[in-house]
Amino acid sequence: MARERSPSRDRTRGPLSGLRVLDLTQALAGPYCTMLLADLGADVVKVEPPSGDMTRFAGPFTEEDTERAYGGYFASINRGKRSIVIDLKDDDDRQRFFDLATQADVVAENSRSGVMDRLGVGYDVLHDLNPRLVYVAIRGFGDPRTGQSPYSNWPAYDIVAQAMGGLVSLTGSTDGTVMKCGPSVGDIFSGALGAVGLLAAIHHASHSGEGQFVDVAMYDAMISLCEGAMYSYSYSGRVGRPTGNGHPGIAPFDLYATADGTCAIGAPGSTNFAELCQRLDRADLIDDERFATPRDRLLNRPDLDDELGAELSRRTTAEVVDLLAGVVPVGPVNDVRAIYDDPHVAARSMLVEFDQPDGSRPVTLAGQAIKMTDTPTGPVARPPRLGEHSDELVDGWGPR
């Protein structure tokens, strides 16, 4: 399947063109946040210590990559940025950072609370230098400026945020075995909320002239993601438990085994349910008293799943999808290989090929899901080598 190739697009055409971002983030949550901005046209300058971002050299690498300037982890969330090496413990380098900060619109970091303050580059110092500056921090448990958490000094990773924020308790098999989500949603969702928050603060600064501190705690982000469990407990006192692949309140709404794989089907409404039954040649289920109403279908879900499962297991996934597509909500359980071959993915530019710095074979990264009609979005350039743009930034940002 054809993929968009090796972007080198003019970032000045993006919706965030002209926005200047100093990116002090490392690992995943913070770089994902600033990657979103870069994909939307912002000029993101990644400030790295002499050793580089902690993930830069973590891999994976292709066999053909002789330079190994960065691995796939780093590449995915740092494409389209410029890199400058600054040692914030060095007085001269710190002054260079201040010079850039006075011209920036945003500073982003995801260190533990107090780290940037101890280095002398925290929010209060930068706000005095540049009152319009928006400063965004993404941490495990937030910053005391917006709410003093008893855990504010704790380090955190994605798995900790998923566990403490309720997501793990809701994810797993119906026998009560819990699991974290495969993708690092504790990081990714926190980073996305960080981008929303800083853009809101930029809007405020555009008419007030005042920047501010934007704080996203990964723990808080997971509570926000689990909003349904929060209101359910308040309304009913019910503590959410793992529900397998089904939905706790509607049926049929699950993953079903086919003759050669698995597919997702959601048909809890009466119209969709009737269509599903007819297309599976089981119109008798429509008037079955066990399944007559949405409530009946939920209460008798085991029986319903047995009836549907028997029909679905006799058909391949492709046959089920062809039978239901466009009428009943259905989709195959795709692995990455299937995603690479899906025409939707190509049509939506959701896989993008990037040239490697050393000219070896290109690699493919996930594209940008935010699309716009009048201003282009998506990766604008390959990820940077460590300090690749230090020389061009020696005199600051230059004209907007």
- 185-213 per-position pLDDT tens digit: 999 999 999 999 999 999 999 999 999 99
Tokens for 59, please give them.
Answer: 């891999």
Which residues pair with residue 107 across a beta bridge?
A: 22, 135
Q: Which range is least confidently modeled, 89-103, 136-150, 154-168, 236-250?
A: 236-250
Tokens for 56, please give them.
Answer: 């830069």
Could you please report the per-residue DSSP string of 336-395? HHHHHH-HHHHHTT-EEEE--TTS---EEEE------SSS--S--SPPPPTTTTTTTTTT
Residue 3 pLDDT greater than 90, yes or no: no
pLDDT, residue 12, reads 77
Tokens for 381, please give them.
Answer: 């350039």
From 54, 183, 187, select the one nearest 46 (Cα to Cα). 54
Residue 29 pLDDT greater than 70, yes or no: yes
pLDDT, residue 383, reads 96
pLDDT, residue 277, reads 97
Name residue 316's amino acid.
T
Question: What DSSP character marks residue 246?
Answer: S
Percent of the chain scored above 90 by pLDDT?
A: 94
Burial 356-365 (b: 16+ CB within 10 A, else e): bbeeeebbeb
Tokens for 160, please give them.
Answer: 């900790």
From 130, 61, 144, 63, select the one nearest 97 (Cα to Cα). 130
Residue 1 pLDDT greater than 60, yes or no: no
- 258-303 per-position pLDDT tens digit: 999 999 999 999 999 999 999 999 999 999 999 999 999 999 999 9
- 36-46 per-position pLDDT tens digit: 999 999 999 99
Phi-psi region at 173: left, alpha or beta (left = phi > 0; alpha = psi -120 to 50): beta
CB distance 22 to 106 below 8 Å? yes
CB distance 21 to 105 below 8 Å? yes
Q: How far is CA 225 from the centre of its chain?
A: 12
pLDDT, residue 167, reads 97
Which residues pair with residue 135 across a beta bridge?
A: 107, 213
> End-to-end alpha-carbon separation of the chain, Å?
39
CB distance 36 to 14 below 8 Å? no
Alpha-carbon separation of residue 258 from 266, 281, 316 (angstroms): 15, 16, 5
Residue for token digits 């925290």?
122
Query: Degrees (nearest 5) of the Cα angle 8, 9, 15?
Result: 145
Three-state DSSP state, 5? strand
Active-site positions read: 187
pLDDT, residue 7, reads 61
pLDDT, residue 399, reads 77
Q: Using CA atoms, how far apart are residues 76 and 366, in angstroms rounded to an integer?
A: 7
Residue 89 pLDDT greater than 90, yes or no: yes
CB distance 359 to 15 below 8 Å? no
What residues contact 286, with CB distance under 8 A and at least 6 apart?
273, 274, 277, 278
Q: What is the band of 378 on the pLDDT scale with cuts at 50, 70, 90?
A: very high
pLDDT, residue 396, reads 87
State the average pLDDT for the chain.
Answer: 95
From 72, 75, 121, select the one nearest 96 (Cα to Cα). 121
Domains and CATH numbers, the chain: 4-226+352-366 (3.40.50.10540), 262-332 (3.30.1540.10)
Cis peptide before 252 (omega within 30 of 0): yes
